[in-house]
Amino acid sequence: MTPPPPVADLAVLVPRARGRCGGPRQLLGITGPPGAGKSRLAARLVGELPAGSAALLGMDGFHIGDAELRRRGLRERKGAPETFDRAGFRCLLRRLRTESGTVYVPVFDRAREDSTAAAVGIEPTVGLVVVEGNYLLHWPEVRALLDEVWYLDPPADRRRAALVDRHVAHGKAAEQAREWVAGSDELNALIVAADRDAADEVLDWGDW
């Protein structure tokens, strides 16, 4: 049986992230199943670091648009690996590692379930990019571009309850939200969990 992950809070995690800000740009990955708290932790980390030293990149910005997913018959599996622009995500990570100028990144808007291209610029002065997303360990070519990956693994019942609340907050009826979590989200969680042991650290974020 896999032991429970150690609980970590910002007092532990922020200094670790800060230590990656001082030299050539580094990429810190935060992954885990849907509802694990990835985007919340990533945003908190960036907010706690010195202004201009860190930036956030969410993999959700590379969701394929809903119209294209419907054309391909994939809308009901949105969030699965095949519903992302995997190659585009890989290319952007490589640009962040190799280019000296400003790199513009897309941002996903949960309210309208779509992304805005080139919504945020990551400046040359940014020493750390915190990258969050489900499949950072699942895609080998993505993992190879990240300096370190933390896997968030809170208790499953707490994670599922948070997912239901999130779906309801963004417009789903409660029953529809529970069905989506039990179906599509949990299928994706199983894919993510298969790569758990490849993470550099497995954590249950204490302030989750």
Q: What is the pLDDT of residues 107-117, one digit of tens each?
A: 998 878 889 99
Query: Which residues 6+ apart lie within 8 Å of 187 measured at CB?
Result: 77, 80
* Residue 183 identity (one-letter amino acid): G
Considering the domain 7-202, what is its CATH architecture? 3-Layer(aba) Sandwich (3.40)
Strand partners, 107: 116
Residue 24 DSSP symbol: S
State the DSSP string of 89-128.
HHHHHHHHHH--S-EEEEEEETTTTEEEEEEEEE-TT--E
Q: What is the mean predicted confidence (pLDDT) over 74-78?
A: 93
Residue 89 to residues 72, 81, 86, 168, 170, Cα–Cα distance (Å): 20, 12, 5, 28, 25
pLDDT of residue 208: 55
pTM of the model: 0.94
pLDDT score at 164: 93
Give tens-digit pLDDT for 143-198: 999 999 999 999 999 999 999 998 899 889 999 999 999 999 999 999 999 999 99
Per-residue pLDDT of 17-72, as tens digits, reads: 999 998 899 999 999 999 999 999 999 999 999 999 999 999 999 999 999 999 99
pLDDT at 93: 98
